[in-house]
Structure 1
């Protein structure tokens, strides 16, 4: 009974992610993902891991 109450409280306080975003300050890459919680988590992890670490900064115009 206590476990069910804690599970219900956790579900209300921490709703599952329906959307997420990944952005790189250096090169300006921005990815917004929405959908199922597992899809969002897997996609953001894939994008963040596959983004090259020494990414090239985008040129800025004055």
Structure 2
């Protein structure tokens, strides 16, 4: 069993933590994925376009 399959430990902090991604970082990631999708051909462009669309759909409007 590798570490990713291990059960979660119950040792979380009670204090607030930073989100995995900030809104600015998420928007930057979408912008870069769209740039990649426009420059690449084939499967990479399709996957980048799909991921950019999925992420962008979840972001709040500016």
What TM-score do the two structures reach when normalised by structure 1?
0.34
Tell me which protein shows more helix as a share of its residues: 2
The higher radius of gyration belongs to 1
Tell me which protein shows more strand as a share of its residues: 1
